[in-house]
Amino acid sequence: MRSLPRVRRRFVLLVAVVLAVVCGGAVTLAARRGPDGARRAHAAHTVTYDHYSLKLDGNRVYLWSAEFHYWRLPSPDLWRDVLEKFKAAGYNATSIYFDWAYHSPKQGVYDFTGVRDIERLLTIAQQVGIYVIARPGPYINAETDSGGFPGWLTTQKGRARSSAPDYTQAYREWLRHVDPIIAKHQYTDGTGPVILYQIENEYGTHTDKAYMKDLKKQVRADGIDVPFTHNHCCGASKWATGGGSVDLPGQDSYPQKFNCSTPDRWNGLATLPRFRDDAPIFTPEFQGGAYDPWGGPGYDKCRTLTGPDFEKVFYKHNLATGVTMQNFYMTYGGTSWGWLADPSHVYTSYDYGSAIKEDRELTPKYDEAKRLGYLTQAVAPLTKTDPVSAGKPTNADVTLTARANPDDGTRFSVLRHRDATSTTTETTHVPIDLTAGRQGGAAVSYPSVPQEPGTKIKLAGRDAKLLVAGYHLGSQQLRYSTSEIMTHGRIGDRDVALLYGRRGEDGETVLHYDAAPSVTVLSGKVRHVWNAGRGDLRLNYTHQGLARVLVTPRGGVPVLLLLATDQEAARFWRQDTAAGPVLVRGPELLRSAAVQGPALALTGDTSAVTGLEVFAATSVRTVTWNGAPVRTTGDDTLTGRLAGPRRVTVPALTGWKVRAESPEARPGFDDHGWTVANRTTTNNPTRPATAPVLYADDYGFHYGDVWYRAHFTAKGGETGVTLTAGTGKAGVYSVWLNGKFLGSSGDGRHTFAFPARAAAKGRDNVLSVLVENMGHNEDFDATDTHKEPRGLTGAKLRGSAAPLTWRIQGGEGGEELPDPARGPFNTGGLYGERNGWHLPGGADAGWTATTLPRRDTRPGVSWYKTTFDLNLPKDQDVPLGVTFTDDHSRHYRALLFVNGWQLGRYVNDVGPQRSFPIPPGILRANGRNTLAIAVWNEDGKTGGLGQVALRQYADLATSLRVADVTTPR
């Protein structure tokens, strides 16, 4: 996407003004309302579609989109980093969920500032030049708490995702807040990147048509003009036709599913459905990785399950079956920081095994996505194809599927194993039939490709190839190539085409000319034969490194063919400038390119000293890299060297102090300020096991740990207490009687025996219970599963009918946030959290100096704190994290706060996450940082804290600049 045309918009406005004057106000400048009441902006730009593809201003686009969740990256300058990385890989769009809960701690209260500033997010997208698919729910799923529903919504009576009046009032409130911000950034108005808007999310079961209709009506009334989409997953309702249907229905698909513990086990291919004949095949979520649960195998395994081989086979299958709109979920996953995670599916990291890691490093999956993404953006005929017969490969174990563009005959064939999961290496010849093509009327067919004797097409296990034939490659006529096209463009006075294949495999490329062209092999080994009868120039080679061939047709435009291995191809970057495309070879990342006269300004990242080669218009004579001049030589391409980052070292973490808390467990603790928990009724569909209702949400405590204290006058026969707690998966709760530790349990019911004489007869006794709320479930099926109660759900003394009178205390202020900047998910109800121990600064009287590892047999919670200084080079991106090392049989868990932000939940005996990336911006790259760790000793025996260290994941010299996130102390 070029920057959205302002000049043109001004022109349209000018014409409108003139018309308004001439026609006596027949055309007004203000937004108008259509017959359905929807606001219609002056049609500065259009987003339309037909059977084949999406169209912007009437031009077909291949939608190649990457999913991103800003709320999983609480450092706005890093939004730019991620979006630039998407753009650099050839994604022309990003799909974004907006998380209602993240913005609304309380009914009627909304926050769109600081790390919640979506206005800034959409502005960055616009500046980067990437379109946006907006997905504000109201329900989003996304492995986040309540699937994006705010905590306060869990106490509603009406079923969520239905027309229930209380739910209706609530979601209208959310839409009325979020929609106007999105509406200000629509492509249609010429003011922004938003091209599509999704209504609801995978709404297929227990559906309510009136609800869908009302959503659409509300969103239009809020000023959204772009087409509506929906992502079908399962169930009967696809919202493709009939009441409540959307403009662009699509199908989500996760063919590998989510079991990362068997990363080499592949499932077969699934072909995406076409829901309507007048709309293209669209996958709003195609698998880009997988989530990993508490105790799971870890994200490296997920990255293998959905690795470059998977991308090759499955994404190309989508291309082979005519899909022209693909969004990949996730392309950058991020961090479910604070209590954002949905406990049934994920822990803190939402790395997702994506193309870009949680710490923002690029992976080999990124390279493959880029090779394909570049193709989708460079080879325009791909946006309009019909299936055609492909012919048979000579090897029966491989399959060929073909499509052709009905206008220009360009043919796309995808070659893969008949059994897509096969790991065998096959060789084959394939027919390529261009007789139906309209290339200058030439009807040619090649019954057996490759033609060069002794060569063949090789297809390794779990590989697929997309072969383009009969294509106007710039000014050349490509008959076919057994190498794949990554990109091509007119650069200066010649075409440049980048083709690639697996290292060591044969490649054959045939170009058609009226007369023999001159051929110069500039580097590598390339054979060439001219077939005068056919007018075919055939090039044969083995993919090794990078070969270069210059073909100069008589009187025509020359073409520089770059014949690369996959790896070499990935070292190329393309950026489109006002002076045409620029190809850059070498750096780790090319973020931007701008041409001004003879000067080319490049920005990007390097991880080491790197060679630079620039393919640009002949007028370009000088190059800068991140603002500094690069000494270049050569006048064909410009070559030079780029510096790498300086080595940085991170400090060791020392100077620890420790302080025990959990005074709530002591009998004399003053709990009179706590909320009395005496409700006898609840809206919750789950009835409490005993009275009163103790559900934390019913008392306004939605996130994190919750304390309960029950007083009772013992009758003498008390032998114990049976408690039932809803913690969510992998959660825990601990119990004390009169300050004596009774033990801990996981989610569910447990009886805690009282030691003899622990309950004092006739006197006031106090039960103290600390319950972890791991988060609320999702509401995937629209059956209110997010309302599963959290906190205590039942309590009964054994051997006594003495009544228990309860008080509850969760996060300070409940729904009234004391710290709106860090927001509702940052803290829960631990004593230290309520008293600001997680924050930087603060007195440390009462803290004791200690070293790590440290063993501790005190049950309950203790805090560890230290500070460290960083002084990282301003022009380097050094992703850092905090790593825990300990014996995993020890039963404790920890909350990790960096500068007051809770960026990790570490469970020593569950895992799998041991290393927690801390986003720059939260981490002060030049200054003092405070680390605070709240450790919950679960068994009163194996507590304490293991080794804690800073870990450096990468080091890059960069143009990226990250400001510190403004944070109250």
**Distant-in-sequence, close-in-space partners of 246: CB < 8 Å, separation ≥ 6:** 199, 216, 227, 228, 229, 230, 239, 240
Closest CA to 331 of 368, 366, 377: 366
**Distant-in-sequence, close-in-space partners of 430: CB < 8 Å, separation ≥ 6:** 391, 393, 394, 400, 413, 415, 448, 449, 457, 467
Q: How many residues does the chain have?
A: 969
Listing DSSP states for 78-145 in one string gives HHHHHHHHHHHTT--EEEEE--HHHH-SBTTB---SGGG-HHHHHHHHHHHT-EEEEE--S---TTBG
Catalytic site residue from 67, 143, 200, 202: 202
Strand segments, DSSP code E, in 405-558 are 411-417, 426-428, 430-433, 445-449, 457-459, 464-473, 476-481, 484-491, 494-501, 506-512, 518-523, 526-531, 536-542, 546-552
- 291 in contact with ligand GAL (CB under 6 A): yes
- 233 in contact with ligand GAL (CB under 6 A): yes
Q: What's the min distance (Å) between Cβ of 416 and ligand GAL?
A: 25
Annotation says 285 is catalytic: yes
Q: What's the min distance (Å) between Cβ of 304 and ligand GAL?
A: 17
**Binding marks (x or -) toward ligand GAL, 117..156, rule CB under 6 A?**
-----------------------xxxx-------------
Nearer to ligand GAL, 825 or 837 (CB): 825
Q: What's the min distance (Å) between Cβ of 750 and ligand GAL?
A: 31
CA distances from 412 to 125, 274, 314, 462 (A): 32, 19, 16, 19
**Binding marks (x or -) toward ligand GAL, 556..595, rule CB under 6 A?**
----------------------------------------
- 377 in contact with ligand GAL (CB under 6 A): no
Are the CB atoms for 733 and 769 separated by under 8 Å? yes
Size, binding site for ligand GAL by CB under 6 A: 12
- 202 in contact with ligand GAL (CB under 6 A): yes
Nearer to ligand GAL, 231 or 800 (CB): 231
- 179 in contact with ligand GAL (CB under 6 A): no
Q: What DSSP character marks residue 940? A: S
Q: What's the min distance (Å) between Cβ of 233 and ligand GAL?
A: 5
Nearer to ligand GAL, 252 or 359 (CB): 252
- 351 in contact with ligand GAL (CB under 6 A): no
**Binding marks (x or -) toward ligand GAL, 485..514, rule CB under 6 A?**
------------------------------
Closest CA to 255 of 283, 213, 218, 222: 283
| C-beta nearest to ligand GAL: residue | 141
Nearer to ligand GAL, 61 or 142 (CB): 142
Annotation says 67 is catalytic: no
Q: What's the min distance (Å) between Cβ of 804 and ligand GAL?
A: 39
Nearer to ligand GAL, 122 or 140 (CB): 140
Judged by CB under 6 A, the residue of 145, 222, 225, 252 near ligand GAL is 252
Catalytic site residue from 143, 200, 285, 938: 285
Q: What's the min distance (Å) between Cβ of 580 and ligand GAL?
A: 39
**Residue 472 token pair:** 């106007």
Judged by CB under 6 A, the residue of 285, 426, 664, 747 near ligand GAL is 285
**Residue carrying structure tokens 């800003």:** 70
Q: What's the min distance (Å) between Cβ of 922 and ligand GAL?
A: 25
Nearer to ligand GAL, 283 or 399 (CB): 283
Q: What's the min distance (Å) between Cβ of 954 and ligand GAL?
A: 26
Q: Report, in angstroms and rounded to the nearest whole number, the Rg of the chain calculated over CA atoms.
A: 31
Are the CB atoms for 883 and 908 separated by under 8 Å? no
Are the CB atoms for 560 and 495 separated by under 8 Å? yes
Nearer to ligand GAL, 337 or 936 (CB): 337
**Binding marks (x or -) toward ligand GAL, 81..120, rule CB under 6 A?**
----------------------------------------
Nearer to ligand GAL, 258 or 741 (CB): 258
**Residue 213 token pair:** 């209709």
Q: Is 59 exposed, middle or buried (0-12, 13-18, 19+ CB in 10 A)?
A: exposed
Q: Is 681 exposed, middle or buried (0-12, 13-18, 19+ CB in 10 A)?
A: exposed
Nearer to ligand GAL, 300 or 815 (CB): 300
**Distant-in-sequence, close-in-space partners of 250: CB < 8 Å, separation ≥ 6:** 229, 230, 231, 232, 275, 281, 282, 283, 284, 325
3-class SS string, 288-314: CCCCCCCCCCCHHHHHHHCCHHHHHHH
- 201 in contact with ligand GAL (CB under 6 A): yes
Are the CB atoms for 870 and 921 separated by under 8 Å? no
Q: What's the min distance (Å) between Cβ of 310 and ligand GAL?
A: 15
Contacts with ligand GAL by CB under 6 A lie at 140-143, 201-202, 231, 233, 252, 285, 291, 329
Task: Name the residues annotated as catalytic.
Answer: 202, 285
